[in-house]
Amino acid sequence: MVVAIDGPAGVGKSSIAQLVASKSGFSYLNSGSFYRAYTYLHLSEGGRADQTEELLERARKATVQIIDGRLHLNGADIEDQLHTAQVDRYVAAISAYAPLRSFVNEQLIAIAQERDVIVEGRDITTVVFPNAELKIYFDAEPEVRARRRYLQHPEGQSYEEVLSQIIERDRIDRTKAVGALKVADDALYVDTSYLTMEQVCEKVLSAIFARKSDSK
C-alpha cells in the first residue's frame, strides 16, 4: 500500500509521516531527503546550483540508502547535513531540474514496489504515485510554518529570513514546469496550522485503516 503525502515546506510532513509510519508499520520515504542529499553532494564538491548536468551526473554515480530512518550517501550518514542553511538556500532551485526529478522518482517507485510505504514530498500524489491508495495534502499558514522552522534551528537565521525563504520556496514549488505543488482532486486535505502532531497523526491513521478495510 502507498500512502502519498504532499504539502509545502514547513507544514510538518516529515514529522507526521514518521510518526504515522512508526505506528502503522509502514516504511517512511521522504523525497525531499533525496534532493537535499544530491544538493549537499553537489555543493560539497564545489558545484554551483546552475550546473545541473554536473549535478545529475554526480547523483547517478552516488549511492543513497535509508538505514534506520536516516539517509546514507555513499555509505556515510549525512542526515544531519540535510537541513543546513546552505542546502536550504539551493535545494528548491535544484529540485526543479526535471531530469533530476525523473531520476529521484524512479528510485522512489522502485522502493515502494517492495513494501508498504508512506511517501512525502511536493508532487507525490500528482506525479510520482497518482494511483496511490491514499493521498493526503497537508497545509498551514506561511507564518505558522516559518515559526516552526525557526524554532527547529533558532541559532541560525532570523524568523523574518525564514519566512521570506518559505514564501519564496512556495513560489518556486507552485510554478515548477515539472512536479509543481498542487492539491490532487482525490486527496484528503488537512490544515495543520492549529492541530497538534498527534491530532494530525490520528486523522491519517484513521484514513489508512479505512482504506485497508475497504480493500478487504
Q: How far is CA 106 from the centre of its chain?
A: 15
Domain definitions of the chain by residue range? 2-205
The distance in angstroms from the start CA to the end CA of the chain is 13
198-205 average pLDDT score: 96
CATH number of 2-205: 3.40.50.300
Helix locations, the chain, DSSP H: 13-24, 31-44, 52-61, 85-95, 98-112, 142-152, 159-174, 197-215
Question: How much of the chain, in percent, has pLDDT values that exceed 90?
Answer: 75
> For 174-196, how does the pLDDT look when each residue is reduced to its tens digit (9 = 90+)?
998 888 899 999 999 999 999 99
The overall pTM is greater than 0.95? no
